[in-house]
Amino acid sequence: MRYVDGFVLPVPKKNLLQYRGIAQKAGKVWKEHGALQYIEAAGDDLDVKEFGVSFPKTIKLKPGETVVISFILYKSRAHRDSVNAKVMADPRMKKMMEKGPMPFEVKRMVYGGFTLLVDL
């Protein structure tokens, strides 16, 4: 069964272009190592009032920040573990991580692995 890694993180709007550049490079690395799909999306309509709890409230957005969500799709959890091991050992990823501070607060990033419930 296919498997998804999901991320939710706050990114200062002024850093979105820098974040996008990093995400594009990282996405290429993940895809080269076997990820089926790599998606990053920036919040656009986050002020929901009809139901639930909004992303800004949940992730405690600060003024000037937006929410970015990411999904990486794999064939299975075992495939995900294999791909991620290759990605983490890839010198391009190491170089990106060592390049300097990330354009968001890593400590506020939310991450997890998910088994698909519905796949249409």
* 3-state SS, residue 58: helix
**78 in a structural domain:** yes
Kindly state whether residue 42 falls inside one of the protein's structural domains. yes
Examine residue 82 and state whether it is found in any structural domain, yes or no: yes
**Does residue 120 sit within a domain?**
no
Give the pLDDT of residue 99: 75
Q: How many CB atoms lie within 10 A of CB 13?
A: 13
**Element containing residue 68 per DSSP (H, E):** strand 65-74
Residue 83 confidence (pLDDT): 98
- Specify if 24 maps to a domain: yes
The 10s digit of each residue's pLDDT in 20-59 is: 999 999 999 999 999 999 999 999 989 877 788 888 888 8
User: For residue 103, what pLDDT band results from cuts at 50, 70 and 90?
Assistant: confident
Does some domain include residue 37?
yes
Question: Which of 54, 55, 27, 57 is CA-nearest to residue 39?
Answer: 27
Q: How many domains does the chain have?
A: 1
pLDDT of residue 105: 86
Would residue 77 count as lying in a domain?
yes
Residue 26 lies in a domain: yes
Q: What residue numbers bound the domain in which 88 lies? A: 3-115
pLDDT value at residue 100: 73
CATH number for the domain harbouring residue 74: 3.30.70.100
